[in-house]
Amino acid sequence: MKSVILYIDKVSEPMEELAIQSFRDSLQLKFLYPKKGQQGSLEEADYILDTHAKVTKDLIDAAPNLKMIQRTGVGYDNVDVEYATSKNIAVSVTLGTNASSVAELVILYMLAMFRNLIVLDRQSKAGIWDNWKYRHQSFELSGKTIGIIGGGFIGREVMKRLKPFGVRIIYYDVNRLSPRLEEELGVEFQAKNALLARSDIISIHVPWSENNRWLIGTKELAVMKEGAFLINTSRGPVVDQNALIEAVKAGRIAGAGLDVFDPEPFHKDSDILKFDNIITTPHVGAATKDNFSRAYIFCAKNIFNFDQGIKAENIVNGL
């Protein structure tokens, strides 16, 4: 019998169909919460496919045959990796497939913030024809300095898309890019504080770890160029959210674009929702059909190889 892959998220019917198509020539794909697909259970799962669902100790214990947990994304903070490792269960992530989707959202944030798109859309729909008020608060990207914190897959995709806008791109990463890649991308390496002080927009693209908790906090926000914007599509705790709110409230920075929060989801009464100059989206940076088509195909191949005794790619716990 074929090994069983169990998708443990509550996916929509179109996403379920996309997954079925992608796994068709692989192993048995079943769903913990099926729409039309085949019902499966944790007890029979050899592999778990996971997008947002929490993979806890209890869930792992409920799957006695489990060999690998395959994430459809790059992060794994929703998986109890330590416990999985203790049970000799591999944890794999999907590197790179989401980079273009997240990068395009970042560019969208930049343009929307610079042109006050959200508030102008809302006013226009309310019958308010105010085409003067925001002229002195609207800008072109051309000629501005954009700071990228994190030079990985997503950070580099943002750099590629920014180049045609005629901006100066500076970046910081604990691991500097090669001189060849810096030249190819048209970017300059800067120390973190120098980047904070010089950038008109800062976009964060670092992996989640406790070392990156509050990478941008009160001190960093104070160093930022007055009137700059901050974008975070990495993980919520990378930015001290309360400090960010205070910086926006005080007018220290001009606003923010946030796809991730601490906690998630945020409370409906959160202060983060009180500002027209903070754009919020519900952690959808990677949420495009194009990305998931690539991700599912990678996951299907990766799990199939692992099942055939071939070492899987992107294992995060060394198994």
Active centre residues (catalytic): 235, 264, 283
The residue ranges of DSSP E strands in the chain, in sequence order, are: 4-7, 28-31, 47-50, 68-71, 90-92, 145-149, 168-172, 187-189, 201-204, 229-232, 255-258, 278-280
For residues 154 and 94, the answer to whether their CB atoms sit within 8 Å is: no
- First CA to last CA across the chain, in angstroms? 25
For residues 282 and 265, the answer to whether their CB atoms sit within 8 Å is: yes
* Burial (0-12, 13-18, 19+ Cβ within 10 Å), 8: buried
Integer angstrom CA distances of residue 292 from 20, 162, 240, 289: 12, 24, 30, 5
Beta bridge partners of 182: none
If you write DSSP's letter for every residue of 57-90 in order, what string do you get?
A: HHHHHT-TT--EEEESSS--TTB-HHHHHHTT-E
Distance (Å, rounded) from C-alpha 228 to C-alpha 263? Answer: 24
- 308 φ, ψ to 5°? -90, 5
Q: Are strands 68-71 and 168-172 parallel, antiparallel or unpaired?
A: unpaired
Collapsing DSSP to helix, strand or coil, 51 comes out as coil
